[in-house]
Amino acid sequence: MPSKFINSLSILLLLLLLLCVQSQSRKALKHRNSSLRDPLVNLWPLPKEFTHGAQTLTVDPSLALQTLGAGGDSKIVVEAFERYKGLIFTHRGNDLLKYDVGKLTVVVASDGDALEFGVDEKYNLYIDGGIGRSIISGATIEANTVYGALRGLETFSQLCVFNYDTKTVEVDKAPWYIHDEPRFPFRGLLLDTSRHFLPLNVIKQVIQSMSYAKLNVLHWHIIDEQSFPLEVPSYPDLWKGAYTKWERYTVEDAQEVVNFAKNRGIHVMAEVDVPGHAESWGAGYPNLWPSPNCTEPLDVTKDFTFEVISGILTDMKRIFPFGLFHLGGDEVNTGCWSSTPHVKQWLEQHNMTTKDAYQYFVLRAQEMAISHNWIPVNWEETFNTFKEKLNPKTVVHNWLGPGVCPQAVAKGFRCIVSNQGVWYLDHLDIPWEGFYDSEPLEGIADSSQQELVLGGEVCMWGETADTSDVLQTIWPRAAAAAERMWSSREATAPGSINSTVLPRLHYFRCLLNHRGVPAAPVNNAYARQPPGGPGSCFAQ
């Protein structure tokens, strides 16, 4: 009884102190808007609001974790703290008699850890050594959910820097008061494992690196016309379409990816691209092909085709809990449908053109996904071809060029931006500035329509990327888009990005390198190239 009473008083006292600090920091924010454009603040992505001082604080290598609130002691938080502690304290240093920051307090209001679309990711971060205006000594992260706490831990880790002269980890420019939340709920990266198989540990490396830039959706383009590497228990011969028997993912592998991502606050959105991009399906079930000479699109005339799709979706629902599911629908060349006798006859019997059959196929697949309580996502060709017929729940995924999202939201559809001219990572000639200058809300002035833009996604298509170069191709350009999707529009449009943004991006690229992520130099004329000669990581 006494211990519970003391604990309650401690929590109450801390919350009162946090309210006091919040009040102080809000007042300070009004006078420190210029800090949003401070090129010397090495945080990526830039927080929504922050103030800092001029003190330097030392951080105890035995940094302790104190958890408070209903969800503070979540396994997700505790394990993340240990991960970040390992990233912060990578060097053996001096042992001081006293450190300014010896404890990190994490307060999480909610006791749930369901990772649902739109989950609250905002957090407040306070760091003070007790010498400044704060009445809290140490560091505190305050969040409504464990996922907000994860974002706060990332920011805290970026503020902790090893000083080689003093051989201590320090937080410069203290005290810090940060209030942060993402601009968009969907901040994605597409990873293609069909064109080249990526081992499980490489996928995990990609997910881990995504968390450093606060990206939160891995769009897993698992299968395509070239290979079908995923196990589907309902139709076990489908993965005969894998390149080899050593380049496959079991159900357990996929579940491991989802769980690994969840522990880092990252959703996994799977894609089954239909009716095109599906030639590999026929390696195990040739009846899915209209004929041996017409191997895609899938045969629209057979119930078996839709039975297989239903089986895939049923099995995938057990693996992928994310509320959005990608059904593809792009680049569907229906020419061989009209030249295959039994398909041509079926079209005539149903008084359909091939365009009608394409619509019929997409809409039927959408109904299946919706029956599993998924929100269907389709590439923009479906909207461009038959927008009036799409299910109103459809999320339109732009890729061909600008202008589609403004049209989609004007019709009441939600939209994801991935304009290939600026956000396709396999386009090696797009420099970091192209990724950074791309604005998801371009051409959308109405605020109610702007809310229909869920966010964006950079796409790592795999034709020329495999284990040997995929991470170098993703980073650091993906980070440029990540800040665009996280930080406020005002903060990411500060004038000359070469003086206000580039130094921070150099710093973040070096941070990735120090954390074991092989991010390529920022200033390459072509992405993923090695350095052209000797030089500092901070200037290449």
Rounded CA-CA distance 484/455 in Å is: 10
Contacts of residue 457, Cβ cutoff 8 Å, sequence gap at least 6: 186, 187, 188, 189, 190, 217, 219, 397, 416, 417, 418, 423
> Which residues, at least 6 apart from 416, have a Cβ–Cβ distance to it below 8 Å?
186, 188, 377, 395, 396, 397, 398, 453, 454, 455, 456, 457
Cβ proximity of 225 and 277 under 8 Å: yes
Task: Please state, for a pLDDT cut of 70, what percent of the chain lies above it.
Answer: 91
**Alpha helices by DSSP H, 32-114:** 75-88
| 477 strand-pairing partners | none
Q: What's the whole-number mean pLDDT along residues 231-238?
A: 98
Using alpha carbons, select from 177, 176, 178 the residue that is nearest to residue 161.
Answer: 176
Beta bridge partners of 59: 101, 169
**Cis check: omega of the bond before 521, within 30 degrees of 0:** no
156-178: pLDDT as tens digits: 999 999 999 999 999 999 999 99
- Cα–Cα distance measured from residue 64 to residue 82, given in angstroms and rounded to the nearest whole number: 10
Domain topology for 49-180: Chitobiase; domain 2 (3.30.379)
Say yes or no to pLDDT of 10 above 50.
no
Please report, rounded to a whole number, the percentage of residues in the chain having pLDDT higher than 90: 86
pLDDT surpasses 60 at 36: no
Every domain of the chain with CATH number 3.30.379.10 lies at 49-180
Which residues are catalytically annotated?
A: 331
- The residues with which 199 forms a beta bridge, in sequence order, are none
pLDDT digits (tens, 9 = 90+) for 292-325: 999 999 999 999 999 999 999 999 999 999 999 9
> Is the distance from CB of 195 to CB of 462 less than 8 angstroms?
yes
DSSP 8-state assignment for residue 475: T
Average pLDDT over residues 472-488: 97
Dihedral of CA 32/38/41/45: which sign? positive
Confidence of residue 275 (pLDDT cuts 50, 70, 90): very high
pLDDT 10s digits, 353-408: 999 999 999 999 999 999 999 999 999 999 999 999 999 999 999 999 999 999 99
Q: What count of other Cβ atoms lies within 10 Å of the Cβ of residue 95?
A: 11
3-class DSSP assignment, residue 520? coil
Which pLDDT score is estimated for 446?
97
CA-CA-CA-CA dihedral for 514, 516, 522, 527, to nearest 10: 170
Third-level CATH fold of 186-515? TIM Barrel (3.20.20)
Q: Could you tell me if 367 and 325 are in contact, meaning their C-beta atoms sit under 8 angstroms apart?
A: no
Q: How many residues does the chain have?
A: 540
Among 508, 87, 26, smallest CA distance to 522 is for 508
- Identify the band that residue 94 occupies on the pLDDT scale cut at 50, 70 and 90: confident
Higher-pLDDT residue of 22, 426:
426
Strands (E), 83-228: 101-108, 123-128, 138-143, 160-163, 168-174, 176-180, 186-192, 217-221
442 HSE (CA, 13 A, CB side)? 15
* CA atoms within a 13 Å half-sphere pointing along the CA-CB vector of 225: 17
What is the C-alpha to C-alpha distance for residues 215 and 222, in angstroms, rounded to an integer?
19
Q: For 327-336, write each residue's pLDDT tens digit.
A: 999 999 999 9
49-75 average pLDDT score:
95
Backbone angles phi, psi at 57, to 5 degrees: -115, 145
Beta 414-417 vs 176-180: how paired, if at all?
unpaired
Alpha carbon distance 319, 67 (integer Å): 31
pLDDT for the residue numbered 539: 86
Single-letter residue type at 485: M
User: Which tokens in the block code for residue 534?
Assistant: 């000797």
Q: How far apart are CA 510 and CA 387, in angstroms?
A: 45
Distance (Å) of CA 524 to CA 39, 492, 509: 22, 22, 13
At 418-464, the pLDDT tens digits run 999 999 999 999 999 999 999 999 999 999 999 999 999 999 999 99
pLDDT at 3: 35
Q: What is the predicted pLDDT for the residue at 24?
A: 45
Residues of the chain with CATH 3.20.20.80: 186-515
Give the residue carrying structure tokens 């494992």. 193
Instruction: Look up the pTM and report it.
Output: 0.93
For the chain, what is the mean pLDDT? 92
* Confidence category of residue 131, pLDDT binned at 50, 70, 90: low
Confidence of residue 97 (pLDDT cuts 50, 70, 90): confident
